[in-house]
């Protein structure tokens, strides 16, 4: 496995790869890799002759500097995991390499980029689009792999692909959970033991709520999910939106859409650590 910090060196290598007619898979990450990332890398390795894993903690997508400062940085361990998954290349550029000058491009894809995370973290999806579009220009992958854990991000990236006419297939990979249901996330490593112990309640309650559709309205389901999670000391719901799976706009009645998803963000513990998850109700 080769590790590149430099864009031109990676591009020269990929030029040779493409000359041989080989297909390239890209797994964009911000590092602090876990089994969720491993599943994306393994899928790419299976489906492409060559896999590039980018490890870049992208500052432009953090609207909260504390969140960026706290984000775990574990490049050495990340490289071991990437190699064990069978990928050929790691692209780990510096911020100066990735952004030789400030990126002033503005990407807005309403409603997908402006609701939920878009509303709570202004500028977040703009930063995601800035870095993902750069990665697409640099790597020119045939396929790019994204985890359904960041479900809204996939909807935004698909809009980006259409907008910049990128010739890349977006491959959506299922969410990976710990045995107790907690969605795997790089931020989980920041949870203290007592916080880690209460965090699985988020998915437990979301899962239970899928059984309420016959007896409760959307409004009642919404209120009950929030009330049950907030009743657990150390958990506080930031938002819980029940939305149409395509438009990401709020749905008022179960009958109003064939594809309905509940998206949640919960603050866990004293720091607090922000955890996101979602549940499919229909579709």
φ, ψ of residue 165 to 5 degrees: the values are 50, 40
Binding residue for ligand PAF, selected from 10, 26, 28, 79, defined by CB under 6 A: 28
Site for ligand PAF in 76-135 (CB under 6 A): 128, 131-132
What minimum distance in Å lies between the beta carbon of 146 and ligand PAF? 7
d(CA 244, CA 223): 18
Binding residue for ligand PAF, selected from 14, 24, 26, 30, defined by CB under 6 A: 30
- Smallest CA-to-CA distance from 83 within 204, 20, 1 is with 1
Q: Which is nearer to ligand PAF, 136 or 240 (CB)?
A: 136
Q: Which residue is nearest to ligand PAF (CB)?
A: 28
**Local structure of 277: helix, strand or coil:** strand
What minimum distance in Å lies between the beta carbon of 135 and ligand PAF? 8
Q: Which residues pair with 24 in a beta bridge?
A: 50
Does 52 help bind ligand PAF (rule: CB under 6 A)? no
d(CA 276, CA 229): 13
**Rama region for 104: left / alpha / beta (φ>0; ψ in -120 to 50; rest):** alpha
Site for ligand PAF in 143-172 (CB under 6 A): 150, 153
Does 58 help bind ligand PAF (rule: CB under 6 A)? yes
Does 176 help bind ligand PAF (rule: CB under 6 A)? no
Are 243 and 256 a contacting pair, CB within 8 Å?
Answer: no
> Is 124 labeled as catalytic in the residue annotation?
no
Give Cβ neighbours of residue 65 (< 8 Å, ≥ 6 apart). none
Which spans of this chain sit near ligand PAF (rule: CB under 6 A)?
28-30, 58, 61, 128, 131-132, 150, 153
Q: Which residues are annotated as catalytic?
A: 37
């Amino acid at each position: 496995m080769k590790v590149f910090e430099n864009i031109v060196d990676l591009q020269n290598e990929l030029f040779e790869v493409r000359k041989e007619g080989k297909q390239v898979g890209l797994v964009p990450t911000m590092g602090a890799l876990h089994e969720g990332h491993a599943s994306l890398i393994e899928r790419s390795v299976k489906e492409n002759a060559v896999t590039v894993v980018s490890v870049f903690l992208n500052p432009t997508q953090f609207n909260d500097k504390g969140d960026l400062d706290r984000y775990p940085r574990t490049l050495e361990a990340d490289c071991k995991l990437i190699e064990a998954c069978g990928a050929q290349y790691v692209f780990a550029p510096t911020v100066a390499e990735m952004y030789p000058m400030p990126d002033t491009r503005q990407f807005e894809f309403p409603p997908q980029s402006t609701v939920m995370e878009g509303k709570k973290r202004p500028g977040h999806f703009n930063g995601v689009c800035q870095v993902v579009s750069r990665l697409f220009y640099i790597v020119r992958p045939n396929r790019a792999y994204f985890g359904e854990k960041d479900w809204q991000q996939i909807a935004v990236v698909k809009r980006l692909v259409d907008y910049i006419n990128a010739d890349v297939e977006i491959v959506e990979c299922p969410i990976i959970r710990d045995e107790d249901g907690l969605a795997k996330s790089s931020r989980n490593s920041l949870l203290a033991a007592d916080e880690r112990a209460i965090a699985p309640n988020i998915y437990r309650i979301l899962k239970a709520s899928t059984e309420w559709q016959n007896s409760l309205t959307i409004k009642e389901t919404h209120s009950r999910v929030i009330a049950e999670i907030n009743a657990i000391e150390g958990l506080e719901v930031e938002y819980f939106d029940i939305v149409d799976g395509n438009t990401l706009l709020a749905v008022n009645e179960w009958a109003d859409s064939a594809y309905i998803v509940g998206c949640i963000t919960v603050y866990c513990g004293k720091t607090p650590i922000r955890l996101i998850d979602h549940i499919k109700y229909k579709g």
